[in-house]
Amino acid sequence: MNLEINFVLPHWLYWSVLFFLPLLVMWLVDRSFRRGGTISGGDTGEIPGEAPVESYRPPGNVFTAVIDRISGFFGRYVAYWALIAPFVFAYEVLMRYAFNSPTNWAHESMTLMFGMQYLIAGAFALREGGHVRVDILYQRARPVNKAALDLVTSVFFFIFTVALLVTGWKFFSQAVSDKLFFGSSYANETSFTEWAIQFYPVKFMLFFGALLLLLQGIAQLIRDFQAFRHHRAAEHHGRGFAHLLVALGAVLAAWTLFEMVNIAVTDYQSLAGSLENILSGLGIGGLTLVMFGTLMVVLVAGLPLAFVTGGLGVAFLYLVGDQHMLNLMPSRIFPMMTNYQLSAIPLFIFMASVLEKAGIIEELFDVVYKWMGGLKAGLAIATIIASTLLAAMVGVIGAAVVTMGLIALPAMLKRHYDPEIAIGSIMAGGTLGILIPPSILAIIYGVIAQQSVGELYLGSLIPGLLLAFMYGFYCWMRGTLNIKVAPPMPVEDRVDMKEKLRLLRNMLAPIVLVVLVLGIIFTGIATPVEAAGIGTFGALVVAALHKRLTWPNLHAACMTTLVASAMVMWIIFGASIFVGFYILQGGQTFVQELISGAGLGPYAVLALMMVLLVALGMFLDWVGILLLAVPIFVPLIKGLSFDGVFGLPGVAPADVSLWFGVIYLVNMQMSFLSPPFGYALFYIKGVCPPHITMGQIFRSSFPFLGIQALGLILVIMFPALVTWLPNLAYG
């Protein structure tokens, strides 16, 4: 009996759903709020905590208000697209296994949809402060200097957005029509699959997203100027440095405008005084110093990482090459925005947000606490176990730290836990999201290093569980040696086995969901992207079972997903331009020859890389580190032989990339805990009581940082911890 279903989604229906569905959801959400609907739970989004809000808020004007509304509307519009993906991927898996009718259009339609969403969401994320910035010096500056820094660094933002606007329009026009849009490459370009969807609406989003981002940036510039004027008037002394910064910004802006005129009126010869091609004679060594030295300077000035790397990338494309090299921008961004594997990022974030709104995370902690609370340091151990399970649900770095900080920290402090044990267990447990599948970092690493994400998930599982055990054992030892620092649950609060089993029954649905998602990845039944789609569909079912599947909760989950995924993807866009240009100039070969020429052995080279990654992790975002370091490190590592240390077994050449990938993930855990600028330190600070100082937070990280270093050493010395499961599953 032939059960095949050969349905192919019509193009007109695809575009109609994308156009009309958000309008319908907007109406349903607004109606629910008008009828008294409320949002449940908190916010687990991967949105870096901002510094305390200044007492002065720039008022803006009519223009900024209009732009804010435009960015808000389009952000909300594309956020609701996330509701489509769970059903499409569930349909695809059902068709494949129940009716032997796999589809290409399901994967392609969702990949292109998320690619368009990333681009449009950039302006909304900028409005909401969702783009991560390095605030080493920025947050410590005086208000007038901070406002001046915002004005100066905005030049790099506008360099990036204007270049993307212009090259994005050309990229789009070439996909439509030679006659109407002055293109010269294709006419009505379509994808290369049998679905043959039109590409020009997708490519148009490069231009449209840049336009929205440019308008929001102008609105932000107006507010920055208002803030500078206000703080300059309020601070009567020490304004000279701020004035110097603003003058520097004016010079940079004037030079940028002049170079834009040069691009507009010349083709092969530059205007007198133009800096185009001025660095063409610089060797790769000098270029390395200039590029990365400038990167460090602009980073610490506080501009969001996406626009630092993107703006500098554009500047060096122009200064080393010429105006035609700027067309590298869309050719680097488009493959990233339409990368199938990266579609798992918004899906896993959406899954996390839906589960959080359903109250699953609070219930999870309550169940684990009731089971483990009778042990010495039981609450800290429960926090680590809950964080491990949470990591297996969400894959979102930072979500577990913030969420468990809100739930577990007050409970531990109330029961007289030493603050350093309480805070350290939350931070260490929270960083397990980097290792425990479905890690988003592993997805991006797999894309950049061309490594199987499924193998990475299997390879990181044992090291992740090993670290979780080591964290818990350390807490238990501290509680055993000194019961006052981590007392067990009072006898009157403990529950019997019958009550424990009843509580465990409440967690049956989310546990089944975790097993389902990881099981279909590990068994190869579905790809990580399909697993993320099915997991999100399952999260919606779990939320419905908990009677939390409401329009306000779906709205909140969609908006959290939008800002978090936009932050990650725009960093990828910016960094891919910067790193892509550097590699194009021979930077990868230069660094590899520099390291290999030092005469170091394979393990010494690996140790040097680990030190560099930890150093970068003290002040750089995890996506930025990955985009900067992995394209350079992985080819070098693949060319080395790791035969083992102290007579222990080594690594097979075919497993080196996988092994290094897991080592990299463990190292990123360390970077999140490394003082003074590890991100987990500031995530937890945002939810700590006021009396908890940064000094206490730093001290709380040291024991767990040592455990992570021990875990890193074990993974390096015993590669089978990484390679055994993937080899067992995939041969």
pLDDT per residue as tens digits for the range 454-503:
889 889 999 999 999 999 999 889 888 888 888 877 776 677 777 777 77
Looking at the structure, do residues 29 and 104 belong to the same domain, yes or no? yes
Residue 623 in any domain: the answer is no
Residue 378 in any domain: the answer is yes
Phi/psi for 316 (5° steps) reads: -75, -30
Q: Give 318's contacts (C-beta < 8 A, 6+ positions apart).
A: 259, 275, 276, 325, 326
Averaged pLDDT for residues 104-108:
86
Name 133's bridge partners: 304
Residue 174 in any domain: the answer is yes
Q: Where a domain ends, among 294, 321, 337? A: 337
Q: Where a domain ends, among 308, 337, 366? A: 337
Looking at the structure, do residues 357 and 446 belong to the same domain, yes or no? yes
Residue 654 in any domain: the answer is no
Looking at the structure, do residues 181 and 313 belong to the same domain, yes or no? yes
Q: Say how many C-beta atoms besides its own lie within 10 A of residue 691's C-beta.
A: 8
Helices (H), 489-550: 497-506, 508-522, 528-545
Say what the pTM is.
0.82
Q: State the chain's mean pLDDT as an integer.
A: 82
The number of C-alpha atoms within 13 Å of 109 and in the hemisphere containing its C-beta is 27
DSSP one-letter code for 83: G
| Distance in angstroms (rounded) separating the CA atoms of residues 583 and 577 | 10
Residue linked to tokens 């004037």 = 254
Residue 2 in any domain: the answer is no
Looking at the structure, do residues 358 and 330 belong to the same domain, yes or no? no
Residue 581 in any domain: the answer is no
Looking at the structure, do residues 378 and 286 belong to the same domain, yes or no? no
DSSP class per residue in 608-623? HHHHHHHHHHTTS-HH
Q: Give 293's contacts (C-beta < 8 A, 6+ positions apart).
A: none
Domain that holds residue 721: 344-549+680-730
Domain count for the chain: 2
Looking at the structure, do residues 384 and 260 belong to the same domain, yes or no? no
Which of the four pLDDT bands, split at 50, 70 and 90, describes residue 47?
very low
Looking at the structure, do residues 306 and 364 belong to the same domain, yes or no? no
Which of the four pLDDT bands, split at 50, 70 and 90, describes residue 205?
very high
Residue 27 in any domain: the answer is yes
Looking at the structure, do residues 323 and 366 belong to the same domain, yes or no? no
Residue 645 in any domain: the answer is no
Which of the four pLDDT bands, split at 50, 70 and 90, describes residue 80?
very high
| Distance in angstroms (rounded) separating the CA atoms of residues 537 and 163 | 39
Looking at the structure, do residues 326 and 425 belong to the same domain, yes or no? no
DSSP one-letter code for 304: B
User: Phi/psi zone of residue 586: left (φ > 0), alpha (ψ -120 to 50 degrees), beta?
Assistant: left
* pLDDT value for 189: 76
Q: Give 16's contacts (C-beta < 8 A, 6+ positions apart).
A: none
Averaged pLDDT for residues 22-30:
94
Averaged pLDDT for residues 105-130:
90
Q: Where a domain ends, among 294, 318, 337? A: 337
